[in-house]
Structure 1
Amino acid sequence: MIKMLDDKFAYFYQKKAFGPAVDVRPVSEHTLSKYRGKLPNKLLEYWEAYGFAGYGRGIFWMTDPDEYTDVVEAWLERTRFSDADNYYVIGRSAFGELMLWGTRSGPSITIQCPWGMIFPADKSRWMNEGKQDFLISTWIAGLNHDGLDQTDEAEAPLFERAHKLLGHLAPDEMYGFVPALAMGGPCRISNLQKVKAVEHLMLLAKLAEPEVMRDIVKDLKDQGLWK
């Protein structure tokens, strides 16, 4: 049994059954030093203790941001976020949902790559209060299998079936729809393949203009209806 750094990670790992970790890759001191001051200390503590790894048999991956630099640029270059902050991918799902951390804006962007959707989230209150570590620990504790899964046309979850049919994902792989949903491909188990994650996400970024969804919380704050 691995040592739990805090109750939030224990909740994620044990209570939510994301453990044990798979395909663990130790994080070098060079990488830790590179991201000090850019990413929260709490995240770097997780990296140092647990490495970059898959959880929940690969439905979620704690990622090396270096591997997704080009992916972030490709998805954000045509949006208002392009020059707004420095963003890093800190996690992804088996189906290509990317979770981004902004140096100034925190966990403020989620990209649903298969659907070409960008979901912004206003975390300014906590960032302004210096609660970066709080945001990381609550982010990891808030992950759940259902939210990371993908559903097919009949709203049936796909991960368990994909894992059984296609096998375990390597750290650089994901389950991708072929043909892509953006090209009119159906959202069915029969159209899923194991693909190289970075290459597939770069391809998806080129297929269509990403749709930036509304941040409802920010809208309410702008209207003075949310504090």
Structure 2
Amino acid sequence: MDEDFASFLAEFEPAIDKRYVPPSTIARYRGKLPDQLLAYWEEYGWCGYADGLFWTVNPQEYEPALEAWIGDTSFMEQDAYHVIARSAFGTLYLWGEQTGDTLRIFAPASRCFSSMPDESIDRDFAMRLFFGGLWRRTNDVEGLFAPALRQLGRLAHDEMYGFVPALALGGAPTLANLRKVKAVEHLVILAQLAPLYVTET
């Protein structure tokens, strides 16, 4: 295990709800996503970490959400993107085949954070840095994860905590407004409620 993923595991243990990644899926993304990520998939599968605060995901399952959020934007003209991870509250981590870790979407607030690619590092090392640079606090929202876990229960791999009413419709980011919802379906709905606001980081 490399030191970056070891640091990630130390921050995000325990892992839950591990799903096996079939060889056909590894083959599908060979050459599109870094070999380092595929090696993580083979070793650890797709699963939730930190009791479900952060999830590694099957990009194919999140294609509807990807299309809903950036399908009609200039981003799709610049690169081919895949959702490789998400948070319990709907932060989507996108990986560009050429540009790497340069797009993240916080779906509840319709915000996209875009950064310039670092062309000085190779794809596999960039993937190591992605995991090594993750923190629990940046995946939480208003400190709501722990109380949501207690009140609403642990998420399944296809669920997230969604605000009802949605923040885009004037909802407040409070525990009382959180519900367990199907992740992909909810993310697609959120994409239809407000225009995507892009911030250059």
TM-score range normalised by the length of the shorter chain: over 0.9
What pairs with 1:1-227 in structure 2 (closer than 5 Å)? Answer: 5-14=1-10, 16=11, 18-126=12-120, 129=121, 131-151=122-142, 157-215=143-201
5+ long unaligned stretches in structure 1: 152-156, 216-227
Q: String of CA shifts for 1:107-135, please: whole Å, max 9, x gaps.
A: 11000000000111112423xx5x11111
Radius of gyration: which is bigger? 1
Which whole-Å CA distance do the structure 1 matches of 2:77 and 2:117 have between them?
18
Root-mean-square deviation over aligned CA pairs: 1.0
Q: CA deviation at 1:20?
A: 2.5
Q: Which residue of 2 aligns with 1:219?
A: none
- TM-score for the superposition, normalised by structure 2: 0.97
Q: 4+ residue stretches of structure 1 with deviation over 4 A?
A: none
Aligned length: 201
Alignment partner of 1:119: what SS? strand
Which whole-Å CA distance do the structure 2 matches of 1:79 and 1:31 have between them?
27
Q: CA deviation at 1:213?
A: 1.0
Alignment partner of 1:138: what SS? helix
Alignment partner of 2:42: what SS? helix
- Which structure has the highest strand share of the two? 2
Alignment partner of 2:83: what SS? strand
What amino acid is the match of 1:76? I
Which whole-Å CA distance do the structure 2 matches of 1:124 and 1:145 have between them?
24
Which whole-Å CA distance do the structure 1 matches of 2:199 and 2:3 have between them?
33
Q: CA deviation at 1:19?
A: 1.8
Q: CA deviation at 1:208?
A: 1.0
Alignment partner of 1:125: what SS? coil
What amino acid is the match of 1:182? A
Q: CA deviation at 1:176?
A: 0.2
